[in-house]
Structure 1
Amino acid sequence: MPKVWAQEKGDRIPILVNAHGQPINDKSSQLTHFMGTVSRSGKYCPIYKPWNKVKAAKKQALIALLKVNN
């Protein structure tokens, strides 16, 4: 996802979600792929841990990263 990582700060990819918070537009695959690159990096979201074992600070950093880059 080099294109997403290289975006200027403030550039956003609009993602529409349904009532359950699930992405529903044609850009949702970009979000899914971006989240995959973040999780595989291990910096924000180590994939070897269950989500409920990830510390709150890491969760907040991941959510902030997603808001900035998407």
Structure 2
Amino acid sequence: MKEITASMAGTVLQVLVSEGEEITDGQVVVMLESMKMEIPIESGLNGKIANINIDIGDFVNEDDVLLVLE
């Protein structure tokens, strides 16, 4: 399984994908807020979303797994 991780600590503002959705390399999949800035998290991979490990409002740390791909 491939994983998409947080590039920095922050609060989840938006989850822009859903389970079962096909995504492409470079697609923005999650928006985080850190120090009052919006931080887009890009996939970096092609694949299908198998699991979403976060909810809006969750606080995540750097390298936490946000999404798992099939």
TM-score, length of structure 1 as denominator length = 0.22
**Larger strand proportion of the pair:** 2
**Larger helix proportion of the pair:** 1
- Relative contact order (C-alpha < 8 Å, sep 6+): which is higher? 2
TM-score, length of structure 2 as denominator length = 0.22
